Structure 1
Amino acid sequence: MHAVKKVLDKVLAAVCVLLFTVLVLTVSWQVFSRQVLSNPSEWSGAFARYVFVWLGMFGAALVFSERGHIAVDVVVRKLPERVQRVVAVLVQLTIIVFAAVTLVWGGRRASQLAWDQNVPGMPIPIGVGPLYLVMPITGVIIMFYAVHHVIAVLRHAEATVEVDDTAEAL
């Protein structure tokens, strides 16, 4: 499972870099066409929104892999290590339920409902559905990472509470 996580991390990082590059190029084209050519691009604004949403969702999944999200663990740090492990597992199980219900099920449903709605300003008829399709995709990825974290915590291969070096340096 750890090998799959490492490969998925690399793929997600590459996808995020690619999406960020596409976003910068699209917005640059939008500015160039508006300011220099005096003929604003109609499609670039809508396309940039698509790319931005996908980048944000894939970036959030990648940060979740690294346990980089904000965690308020002041109380948990004061608990015995065994209780910290139970809390860490419960948190990951809650995340799995959230990702399954909200991102996978809800995102799939939203994508299906919006599939035939056209995006104004795009040169080709494309539905809003693909925009929402990122939700179930990242939901499955986040669920995988949460299961990985549960297994790592139970095997004592991962800390229950992340060590914050910056707080200790102050």
Structure 2
Amino acid sequence: MHKLVDGYFTLLKVLAIICLVTMVVLVFGNVVLRYGFNESILISEEISRWAFVWLTFLGAVVLLRERGHMSVDLALRALPSWGERGCLILSQLLMLACSGLFFWGSWQQMEINWNVPSPVAGWSMGLFYGSGVFFGISACLIHLYEIARLALGGEIPRPDLSAELHQ
């Protein structure tokens, strides 16, 4: 199971790289075409925008899983072990609630815009808002996993400060 989950997140990283490369190629190519040849590719801007949105949400899911988000744990470290664990579970519950709201709002937007075509490509705008649905579901699953892990006595995550000190 661990290999399957790692493979899934590796796939997300590869998809994020594909989105980034797509954005760079399309935007740079369009700039060259506009200034060099007074032409442009109409669909380039729209695909770049979609790639940017999906890149953002793919990256957010990967960072959430790797605990790469910002945290201030000065007060947390001053608590006893049970207090620290309780605060971490509470914070995961609050993030779960926020991610659930994000999922619900994105789902509603996806439903509303499912039959609305994008301006140039004509693709369903529901797919555009689907990035939020993807993030909401993924974030909720990650938060549920973290809550269960902490509640069952798993290791309390601590940032590795040694790497930052050596830079």
Taking structure 1 as the reference length, what is the TM-score of the superposition?
0.86
Letter of the aligned partner of 1:52 in structure 2? F
CA deviation map 1:28-72 (0-9, x unaligned): 221122122211222111211111000001101100010000112
Structure having the larger proportion of residues in helix: 2
Written as runs of structure 1 = structure 2, the 5 A alignment for 1:18-167 is 18-102=18-102, 104-120=103-119, 122=120, 124-165=121-162
Letter of the aligned partner of 1:125 in structure 2? G
Do the aligned partners of residues 151 and 163 (structure 1) sit closer, same or farther apart at CA in structure 2, a change above 3 Å counting?
farther
Quote the offset at 1:127 in angstroms.
Answer: 3.1
Give identity over the alignment, percent: 22
In structure 2, the gaps of 5 or more residues are none
Do the aligned partners of residues 24 and 168 (structure 1) sit closer, same or farther apart at CA in structure 2, a change above 3 Å counting?
closer
Q: Secondary structure at the match of 1:68?
A: coil
CA deviation map 1:76-112 (0-9, x unaligned): 111111111111111112222211221x211010111
RMSD, aligned CA: 2.1
Letter of the aligned partner of 2:44 in structure 1? S
- CA separation in 1, counterparts of 2:159 and 2:83? 15
Q: How many residues align?
A: 167
- CA separation in 2, counterparts of 1:57 and 1:164? 27
Quote the offset at 1:167 in angstroms.
Answer: 6.1
Do the aligned partners of residues 135 and 97 (structure 1) sit closer, same or farther apart at CA in structure 2, a change above 3 Å counting?
same
Taking structure 2 as the reference length, what is the TM-score of the superposition?
0.88
Do the aligned partners of residues 165 and 154 (structure 1) sit closer, same or farther apart at CA in structure 2, a change above 3 Å counting?
farther
CA contact (8 A) 1:23 1:52 kept: yes
- CA separation in 2, counterparts of 1:95 and 1:85? 15
Which consecutive segments of 4 or more residues in structure 1 shift more than 4 A?
166-170
